[in-house]
A and B are shown apart, each in its own frame.
Chain A
Amino acid sequence: MKALILVGGFGTRLRPLTLTMPKPLVEFANKPMILHQIEALAAVGVTDVVLAVNYRPEIMERVLKEYETELGVKIHFSLESEPLGTAGPLKLAEGILAKDDSPFFVLNSDITCDFPFKQLAEFHKSHGDEGTIVVTKVEEPSKYGVIVHKPNHPSRIDRFVEKPVEFVGNRINAGLYMLNVSVLDRIEKNRPTSIEQETFPAVVKDGLLHSFDLDGFWMDIGQPKDYLTGTCLYLSSLTKKNSKLLCSPSESFVHGGNVMVDKSAKIGKNCRIGPNVIIGKDVVVGDGVRLQRCTLLPGSKVKDHAWIKSAIVGWNSSVGKWARLENVTVLGDDVTIGDEIYVNGGSILPHKSIKVNVDVPAIIM
């Protein structure tokens, strides 16, 4: 089987993290974001994965090469010389996606969920039409594009309504699809094309597009606030599954569960950690530290008595004693927060040293 992941550009929404690390390699729950998807694809027998990118950092290729052999997957980079929208990259990768007649998966790279690729493939096969869109239910459909089914049909899509004013349904496009090769014929070469606004409506017109309900959580984690929310959802789902990836709640420092700690990390005495905390590789946490709803990326250090809530601490960054970070604070690579410093919603660019409080949300260049 084949799959295409829409990776796109510089990941500006996830800055300052993506200033020093390509977005697909930014760790989410101690694993590069894109690896969550590639692993899930490999698990259902996908052998060719196309990464549709419009820039191609060397480090990304190097890192992903290592996983090719480990997972038994061939990873292709498909580089757009100019932006081609969300459908154009499929056409560009036609050589791989259409190498046989079997349908292929397409996914946005910023999504976290319990990837239902096996069920999706079975469902797609069962209806026999051209395409299947994974949909998720949301509370406030008016912010999204909503899917409306044909009358008296559970899955065949009738139309899309962009940001509906009145309630027409609560299922939205989750950014995961399974498509037949024939869909590629609907896309023009070398023209920026939107899959949501051009390609799918054409398939819908022919009555050949179905929806597939996603079970469980779903989140677009393309920006820091949602990244943190996505982390909570992901950890909660691991807890539900009694995953071994989580710390045992009997561990003395765990407070409220949903805590994942890399085995190389060091945790000091009298800490209170949780809920919803991820501690990465080689992280050092001092004594009396309080952590909740945060991710400490690899190589970072949190000194004694610091207090962190709703924050992402970047690689190799250091948080001083009695410092306090909160309200979606994001530290880039190698940032130093001084002792006793308070940061409220700060986005701190890489290699900065912060010596005075950031009292109101601000970008520190």
Chain B
Amino acid sequence: MLQVPVREKSNGAGKATKAVILVRIQSHFSLASSSRGPHRPPELTPFRILQVGGPSRGTRFRPLSLDAPKPLFDVAGHPIVWHCLTAIAKVPSIQEVCMIGYYDETVFKDFIKEAASEFPNLPIKYLREYQALGTAGGLYHFRDAILKGRPERIFVLNSDVCCSFPLNDMAKLFDDRDAEAVILGTRVSEDAATNFGCIVSDQHSRRVLHYVEKPESHISNLINCGVYLFSVDAIFPSIKSAIKRRADRPRLVSYPSSDNLESSFIADNDDDERKNEIIRLEQDILSDLADSKQFFVHETKDFWRQIKTAGSAVPANALYLQKALQTGSKELAQPSANILPPVFIHPSAHVDPTAKLGPNVSIGPRATIGAGARVKESIVLEDAEIKHDACVLYSIVGWNSRVGAWARVEGTPTPVTSHTTSIVKNGVKVQSITILGKEVGVGDEVRVQNCVCLPYKELKRDVANEVIM
């Protein structure tokens, strides 16, 4: 039954590999007013590979994605997608990185330029999708570009994932088992598992026996991290046959429930998607691979988080900063009485010596932190100003925003094991992380708690548990 393609045995480290980063943005809803012109949000797919794209326009990352594409949002001092690149750069055999996404080319121009100087041995190219093709459809669409240079295998990374990306471990498993596909998995709590793709594997061989995307009932708490390594001989034929299948019969959409409402909505309502035969790795490819291929799972014990909502940038920031601390990164600020590590301070930021920062704080370029201010578990973006004696906890302070003297901008800590960024307060679901969009002003002594504030608002009175339009 199982057909193992005959391939040359070669030293895994030397196997020609590409990486594809999918830089799509989340969701298929069209933006009422897109700041990026008439096109859909770009989705980037990986070539040896990086997927920079989420599903569509990053609406779930609002209000921050109103002003910057999510993959380029800074966590721990670097764009989200930069963290993927760092991991890819550590794989010796990578020939090239393709970013596949729906964004306009100009969006990534500067980033790719900077990345080229930072990762001189890593050619990076951006492949722009003009219509949403789905994660697998995008790969297939750009197969010629991806297969150029004859890579034997490709890494595919979703850019909205925050993790340690143990790509070399995955490659080792790939070689050891003579695999056709390796997926990165992690264990989550039982109740969180059904929000993700669930993997059933043979404990011993680590072979993937069964894969279901967002099941309605409990199947496994080993979930898909959105990071894959595929043999090109396996993945492209699989996608091709999925496309053929699709032509023969329409995709079954799971019955809507409160848990999968969003995904069923997308599938049901996006006409473009039907027309264009969107093929997604998760729904359309992985379960077939589990049935018929040499498909294995590498289970990471290291950190893993999705970066979906804007609030999830705060835990992602914390995890990447902690990783930087553990690896002795020189980028971090020196610990002191007023710097509780890990803290990242951009060299152009101005932080008063009496301000207390950390842990898990990133201060962006040209940001100003006043005397006696306190910043903890937060991201302060470019050109933001925190005035004296203000207190910022579990929050994101947007570009150019100002927080007044003695103001308090505060979110609520969520448990480390939690994969959501909302909490229930007095019976109402609110954002745990407080987010100030671009150029928001918080008056002196004003308190902002568990709020999401859209760009260009002035907050003059205390607010809590609200979205401020």
Contacts and interface: CB of A to CB of B under 8 A. Distances in A.
Contacts of B376: 340
Contact of B408 (A272, A304, A321, A324): A324
Contact of A270 (B388, B393, B410, B412): B388
Contacts of B150: none
A117 interface: no
Contact of B449 (A287, A322, A342): A342
| Residue picked from A305, A326, A342, most chain B C-beta under 10 Å | A305
A315 interface: no
Contacts of B166: none
Contact of B372 (A287, A326, A340, A360): A287
Nearest to B408: A324
Contacts of A309: 445
A309 B449 CA distance: 17
A340 B447 contact: no
B413 to A, nearest CB: 9
Contacts of A340: 374, 376, 391, 393
A342 B410 contact: yes
B408 A342 contact: yes
Contacts of A287: 354, 372
B445 A359 contact: no
Nearest to A324: B408
A245 B373 CA distance: 33
Given A288-B371, A342-B410, A359-B425, A307 B445 contact: yes
Contacts of A359: 425, 449, 464
B33 interface: no
A360 B426 contact: yes
Interface residues of B, number: 22
A272 B389 CA distance: 11
Contacts of B61: none
A23 interface: no
Interface residues of A, number: 18
A324 B371 contact: no
A305 B352 CA distance: 14
Contact of B374 (A270, A272, A305, A326): A305
B406 interface: yes
Contacts of A357: 412
Interface string A293-334: 000000000001101010000000000011010100000000
B423 to A, nearest CB: 11
Contact of B388 (A288, A324, A342, A360): A288
B370 to A, nearest CB: 10
A305 B369 CA distance: 14
Contacts of A288: 371-372, 388-389
B445 A270 contact: no
B447 A324 contact: yes
Given A287-B372, A288-B372, A305 B425 contact: no
A299 B235 CA distance: 73
Contacts of A326: 447
A305 B356 CA distance: 11
Nearest to A307: B406
Interface string A323-364: 010100000000000001010000000000000010110000
A23 to B, nearest CB: 32
A270 B391 contact: no
A290 interface: yes
Contacts of A290: 389, 405-406, 445
Contacts of A305: 372-374, 389, 391, 406
A298 to B, nearest CB: 25
A288 B408 CA distance: 14
Interface string A267-286: 00010100000000000000
A291 to B, nearest CB: 10
A324 B410 CA distance: 11
Interface string A102-119: 000000000000000000
Contacts of A322: 374, 389, 391, 408
Nearest to A289: B389
Contacts of B410: 342
A360 B465 CA distance: 12
Contact of A324 (B372, B391, B405): B391
A170 to B, nearest CB: 33
Nearest to A339: B374
Contacts of B356: 321
B406 to A, nearest CB: 5
| Residue picked from A309, A322, A326, A360, most chain B C-beta under 10 Å | A322
Interface in B371-430: 371-374, 376, 388-389, 391, 393, 405-406, 408, 410, 412, 425-426
B372 A270 contact: yes
B403 to A, nearest CB: 13
A326 B447 CA distance: 11
B418 to A, nearest CB: 17
Contacts of B373: 305
A118 B94 CA distance: 96
Given A270-B371, A288-B372, A340-B374, A307 B449 contact: no
A275 to B, nearest CB: 14
A11 B464 CA distance: 34
The 4 closest A-B pairs by CB, nearest first: A288-B372, A322-B391, A288-B389, A322-B374
Given A272-B406, A290-B389, A307-B445, 16 more contacts: A270-B388, A288-B371, A288-B388, A290-B405, A290-B445, A305-B389, A305-B391, A307-B391, A307-B406, A307-B408, A321-B356, A322-B374, A322-B389, A322-B408, A342-B447, A342-B449
12 contacts: A270-B372, A272-B406, A287-B354, A305-B372, A305-B374, A305-B389, A305-B406, A307-B445, A322-B408, A342-B410, A342-B447, A357-B412
